[in-house]
């Protein structure tokens, strides 16, 4: 009797365990179902926007207390200041050591250290987490990722201060670029990935009539990620350039390791930590998303790329290192998405209001001191002059008036934040080098005061005039506040030089000012054929530097500036394979 009771008790324990596991699974399913219902309107709105390309923004771009809470700004600044000089302990992931080397371009101390893990440990944890993550449905993953974004949006102000004091962006730009604009780009990748994954049925009872009989096969189709994703972050837009690849990979079933730039860790650390806690609270492995912090002993990038668990790599940064990333990815059979850099060009032939054009161009040059992959560099002006309602304006007059517009902005103390600070000291060296290349200096660069930050590394733009034949000078990318005015024979030559530059050196943006529809059509044909997007007659409060989520495809993948576009279907579909199973009976 005692033996029978013991067996009964053992079986009871087993059945209780099975029941509890089932109940836990059911609770998770119910939780995901609730999330799916909660975030369905957001997903539907995002999917509609990527289809129609109309304006849509999930998060408000103004750092307003009325929108985000009256104390949100102050609270974010307090959190930022409390984090300085301390270990960043919010990540769930564990490290083997602590390291940090961030410096504020505004001259204040940072002193934050982060947990460092080897590439092997990062990838081992990611592979384990990916098994759980890839087993979820596309609907569940989309809902979880939107929940991650909604919760992390509460950190926008801390993210803004973290971005300001690692990249040099002014606070408002840092808030917008690393906060709402980045999160919209992340949501765009989720919506695009969801659209790709749900374009076909995941299972079907397949019946083939064969005369008097038929054959029935049960078919299932699995979207299988190509491997763990590694996203290599940049130093100027750490979140904006990282989340498209991260969220495209996550949406399509992959775990991701966000390998940060050693000088700009804090902004992505906030986001990754928030995501890890959200995942954990939902009963998911927090290592689905990890932060890869490099150190002198573990630079990480090439080790992560070469790891056999890695399937896809996203890279933003310089063309030289980007080419090396592409080479190593090819060598190891990884799918690689790159946004490197190019030489962005402008042609000005005829305008309705030259002052409005100059205002727009001057602001585009100085915005974040030209440290944007979309900033204009070369301005081609016909030697015969620009046609305006008030007469013809020569290239020299155009250059002089552009310099005057920059001077006026630089003299306005309120504009200092728009200039921001220089992220990398090598950019200052680049300004000096550009001035000594043989082009004529129209407006020299000079130090710029940043109110409240007496040690800020901040300067005004350098404006040069080059001859059309000096292509060895102006067809290089001069990253930073450096621009060239280049007189050319006529508008046709301007477009020819622009197209040739795109094909040889790449471009993220091109811009054309012409009131002549035939010339606009000609420019559009030539520049699109060269692989670059083109903007016509931008004035007012829209600048060539800007790229709108859900509407603008950032990058084309069709020129040397990069092989990817945020976020077309190829940007998500190339991250997974569809594998089928068939059953009879």
Residues 364-399 pLDDT 10s? 999 999 999 999 999 999 999 999 999 999 999 999
- Judged against a pLDDT cut of 90, whether residue 9 lies above it is answered with no
Are 263 and 137 within one domain?
yes
3-state SS, residue 515: coil
Cα separation, 22 vs 147, whole angstroms: 24
Cα separation, 492 vs 577, whole angstroms: 45
Closest CA to 290 of 534, 120, 457, 175: 120
State the CATH number of the domain containing residue 170: 3.40.605.10
Tell whether 569 is covered by a domain. Answer: yes
Cα separation, 41 vs 60, whole angstroms: 17
State the CATH number of the domain containing residue 495: 3.40.309.10
Confirm if 484 and 466 have CB atoms less than 8 A apart: yes
Are 280 and 352 within one domain?
no
Q: Dig out the tokens for 331 from the structure.
A: 């060598």
pLDDT of residue 6: 46
Q: Dig out the tokens for 433 from the structure.
A: 């080098």
Cα separation, 584 vs 104, whole angstroms: 64
3-state SS, residue 311: strand
Are 394 and 512 within one domain?
yes
* CA distances (Å), origin 585, targets 163, 218, 221, 241, 579: 58, 8, 18, 49, 20
pLDDT of residue 31: 74
Model confidence pLDDT, tens digit, residues 541-563: 999 999 999 999 999 999 999 99
Model confidence pLDDT, tens digit, residues 27-54: 445 679 999 999 999 999 999 999 999 9
Is the omega angle on the peptide bond into residue 567 within 30 degrees of 0, that is, cis? yes
- Judged against a pLDDT cut of 90, whether residue 21 lies above it is answered with no
- Please provide residue 224's backbone torsions phi and psi, each rounded to the nearest 5 degrees: -110, 120
Are 240 and 364 within one domain?
no
Are 505 and 530 within one domain?
yes
Instruction: Give the domain extent around 266.
Output: 22-68+88-101+111-199+208-340+564-583
Helices 138-152, 266-281: axis angle to 10 degrees equals: 130
Tell whether 8 is covered by a domain. Answer: no
Residues 504-524, mean pLDDT to the nearest whole number: 98
Mean pLDDT over each residue of the chain, to the nearest integer: 94
- Judged against a pLDDT cut of 50, whether residue 167 lies above it is answered with yes
Are 333 and 353 within one domain?
no
Closest CA to 68 of 163, 147, 155, 145: 155
Percentage of the chain exceeding pLDDT 70: 95
pLDDT of residue 22: 40
- Judged against a pLDDT cut of 70, whether residue 1 lies above it is answered with no
Cross-strand pairs, 116? 97
3-state SS, residue 170: coil
* CA distances (Å), origin 120, targets 87, 291, 350: 23, 13, 58
Are 63 and 170 within one domain?
yes
Tell whether 578 is covered by a domain. Answer: yes
Model confidence pLDDT, tens digit, residues 251-281: 999 999 999 999 999 999 999 999 999 999 9
Cα separation, 530 vs 510, whole angstroms: 11
Structural domains counted in the chain: 2
Tell whether 10 is covered by a domain. Answer: no
Tell whether 359 is covered by a domain. Answer: yes
pLDDT of residue 543: 96
Tell whether 363 is covered by a domain. Answer: yes
Within a 10 A sphere around the Cβ of 277, how many other Cβ atoms? 17
Confirm if 129 and 288 have CB atoms less than 8 A apart: yes
Residues 457-471, mean pLDDT to the nearest whole number: 98
Can you give the C-alpha Rg of the chain in angstroms? 27
Place of tokens 């002059």: 385
34 Cβ partners below 8 Å, 6+ apart?
Answer: none
Tell whether 558 is covered by a domain. Answer: no
Are 298 and 388 within one domain?
no
Closest CA to 90 of 207, 265, 301, 309: 265
Model confidence pLDDT, tens digit, residues 341-362: 899 999 999 999 999 999 999 9
Are 263 and 387 within one domain?
no
Are 331 and 373 within one domain?
no
- Judged against a pLDDT cut of 80, whether residue 155 lies above it is answered with yes
Handedness of CA 478, 481, 485, 490 (dihedral sign): positive
Percentage of the chain exceeding pLDDT 90: 94
Are 356 and 293 within one domain?
no
Are 297 and 365 within one domain?
no
Cα separation, 32 vs 45, whole angstroms: 19
Tell whether 403 is covered by a domain. Answer: yes
Closest CA to 153 of 141, 142, 145: 145
């Amino acid at each position: 009797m005692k033996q029978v009771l013991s067996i009964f008790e053992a079986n009871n324990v087993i059945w209780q365990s099975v029941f509890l596991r089932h109940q836990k699974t059911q609770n998770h399913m119910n939780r995901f179902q609730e999330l799916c219902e909660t975030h369905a309107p957001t997903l539907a709105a995002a999917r509609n926007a990527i289809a129609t390309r109309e304006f849509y923004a999930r998060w408000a771009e103004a750092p307003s207390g009325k929108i985000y809470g009256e104390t949100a700004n102050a609270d974010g600044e307090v959190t930022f200041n409390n984090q300085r000089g301390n270990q960043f302990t919010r990540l769930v992931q564990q490290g083997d050591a602590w390291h940090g080397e961030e410096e504020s371009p505004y001259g204040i101390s940072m002193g934050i250290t982060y947990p460092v893990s080897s590439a092997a440990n990062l990838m081992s944890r990611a592979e384990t987490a990916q098994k759980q993550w890839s087993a979820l449905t596309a609907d569940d993953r989309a809902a979880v990722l939107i929940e991650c974004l909604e919760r992390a949006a509460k950190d926008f102000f801390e993210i803004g201060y973290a971005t300001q004091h690692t990249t040099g962006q002014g606070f408002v730009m840092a808030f917008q670029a690393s906060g709402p604009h980045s999160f919209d780009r992340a949501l765009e990748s989720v919506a695009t990935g969801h659209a790709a994954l749900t374009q076909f049925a995941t299972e079907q009872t397949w019946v083939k009539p064969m005369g008097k009989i038929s054959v029935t096969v049960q078919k299932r189709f699995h979207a299988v990620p190509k491997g763990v994703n590694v996203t290599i972050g940049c130093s100027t837009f750490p979140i904006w350039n990282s989340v498209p690849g991260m969220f495209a990979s996550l949406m399509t079933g992959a775990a991701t390791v966000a390998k940060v730039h050693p000088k700009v860790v804090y902004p992505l650390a906030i986001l990754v930590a928030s995501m890890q806690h959200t995942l954990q609270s939902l009963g998911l492995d927090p290592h689905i998303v990890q932060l890869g912090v490099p150190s002198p002993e573990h630079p990480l990038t090439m080790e992560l790329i070469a790891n056999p668990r890695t399937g896809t790599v996203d890279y933003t940064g310089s063309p030289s290192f980007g080419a090396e990333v592409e080479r190593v990815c090819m060598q190891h059979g990884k799918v690689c998405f790159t946004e490197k850099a190019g030489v962005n060009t402008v042609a000005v032939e005829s305008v309705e209001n030259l002052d409005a054009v100059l205002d727009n161009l001057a602001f585009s040059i100085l915005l974040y001191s030209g440290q944007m992959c979309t900033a204009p560099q070369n301005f081609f002006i016909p030697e015969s002059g620009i046609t305006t309602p008030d007469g013809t304006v020569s290239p020299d007059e155009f250059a002089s008036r552009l310099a005057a517009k920059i001077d006026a902005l630089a003299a306005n103390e309120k504009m200092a934040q728009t200039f921001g600070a220089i992220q990398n000291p090598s950019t200052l060296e680049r300004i000096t080098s550009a001035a000594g290349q043989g082009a004529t200096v129209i407006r020299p660069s000079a130090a710029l005061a940043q109110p409240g930050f007496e040690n800020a590394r901040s300067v005004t733009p350098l404006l040069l005039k080059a001859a059309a034949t000096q292509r060895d000078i102006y067809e290089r990318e001069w990253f930073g506040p450096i621009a060239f005015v280049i007189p050319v024979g006529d508008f046709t030559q301007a477009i020819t030089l622009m197209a040739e530059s795109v094909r040889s050196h790449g471009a993220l943006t091109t811009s054309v000012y012409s009131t002549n529809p035939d010339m606009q059509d000609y420019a559009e044909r030539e520049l699109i054929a060269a692989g670059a997007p083109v903007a016509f007659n931008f004035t007012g409060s829209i600048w060539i530097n800007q790229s709108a989520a859900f509407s603008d495809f950032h990058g084309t993948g069709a020129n040397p500036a990069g092989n990817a576009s945020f976020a077309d279907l190829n940007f998500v579909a190339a991250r997974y394979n569809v594998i089928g199973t068939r059953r009879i009976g």
